[in-house]
Amino acid sequence: MKVTEHIAQANGNTQFSFEILPPLKGQHIKSIFDNIDPLMEFNPPFIDVTYHREEYIYKEQENGLLKRQVVKKRPGTVGICAAIQNRYKVDAIPHILCGGFTKEDTENFLIDLDFLGIQNVMALRGDAVKTETYFTPEKEGHEYANGLVKQINELNDGIYLDQDLQNTSKTNFCIGVAAYPEKHMESPSLDSDIHFLKKKIKSGAEYIVTQMFFDNQKYFEFVEKCRNEGITIPIIPGLKPIATKRQLNLLPHRFHVDLPEALILEVIKCKDNSEVKQVGIEWCIQQSKELQKAGIPVLHYYSMGKSDNIQTIASQVF
């Protein structure tokens, strides 16, 4: 079923969903199931699986020279989605990127998803690879997520890259896109971000998932701004419980989000990370309950490969 259908069927009840990362290359898929199993009692209508593009690493050779290697540390997004749908009978949502994909790669990726019975995709640009300052698209790829949304939507209309194809089959993807209540890091302003968000919707996006935030006010203000701009599709909030002291620096640096002073002070007071985890759980429960009270249709949790804290939060909220 499509995300939009899940929301319509929930009759105003807030639903629980979450996002997982494929395991590091070399690890067994069991590590994924071990994380998902304890969360199934909260009846997620869908589970997102992130996509991780290639990275460049430099290995020293015997002659002392460095050799560049292209590696994908977390492959397996499509396989995990198929395994989730097969094992749990729950909709799996693969993330799909502009980065590293030509339009032809994208089309073939989407054909695989369609054949597997996957009905939802999260369309993203992706970040720059670690060795680059700015995002560079593939020569025959998309520069922004908007182009990717357009391509998916065209496939939904049976329009393939090779326009000589006759009697083509139409896909039926429900397309999700990303948004940033505290603005995307490259964006000159929130208004400009919303301007481009509207373009993604015009191109066919049917729902939005936000970047994590730790202050609900930022989400509420963002939703109000979007509604005033005529955006009517669901805006699903992304939530992440803070779990380590290091994340006090890492999360603002990596995701360009602010942490509220009260949360920072609570974390600083903690003697170790097990105390931080508890603070993060309690903070996230408060955030979740407030969002639930406001009638938000789905709360989406970033598990980042660990489900124990998400399980504790869900048991208090759902």
Ligand X SMILES: Cc1cc2nc3c(=O)[nH]c(=O)nc-3n(C[C@H](O)[C@H](O)[C@H](O)COP(=O)(O)OP(=O)(O)OC[C@H]3O[C@@H](n4cnc5c(N)ncnc54)[C@H](O)[C@@H]3O)c2cc1C
* Binding-site ranges for ligand X (CB under 6 A): 50-51, 53, 95, 97, 124-127, 144-146, 178, 184, 186-187, 192-193, 196, 200, 209, 211, 238
How far, in Å, CA of 138 to CA of 136, rounded?
7
Nearer to ligand X, 209 or 314 (CB): 209
Rounded Cα gap, residues 240 and 285, in angstroms: 10
Residue 144 Cβ, how far from ligand X at the closest point, in Å? 4
Q: Which is closer to ligand X, CB of 72 or CB of 184?
A: 184
* 172/192 with CB nearer ligand X: 192
Tell me the two tokens of residue 212: 């994590």
Nearest CB to ligand X, comparing residues 143 and 157:
143
Q: Rounded distance, CA 314 to CA 308, Å? A: 10
Angle of CA points 280, 286, 288, to nearest 5°: 95
The phi, psi pair for 93, rounded to 5°, reads -115, 105
User: Residues near 315 by Cβ (< 8 Å), separated by ≥ 6?
Assistant: 42
What gap in Å lies between CA 211 and CA 180, rounded to an integer? 5
Residue number, 3 or 279, with CB nearest to ligand X: 3
Taking the CB of residue 285, how many other CB atoms lie within 10 A of it? Answer: 17
C-beta of 265: minimal distance to ligand X in Å? 27
Shortest gap between Cβ of 47 and ligand X (angstroms)? 13
For residue 154 the two structure tokens come to: 């065209």
By the 10 Å C-beta count (0-12 exposed, 13-18 middle, 19+ buried), 11 is classed as: exposed
CB of 269 to ligand X, least distance (A): 30
Smallest distance, Å, CB 247 to ligand X? Answer: 17
CB of 196 to ligand X, least distance (A): 4
Q: Which is nearer to ligand X, 42 or 101 (CB)?
A: 101
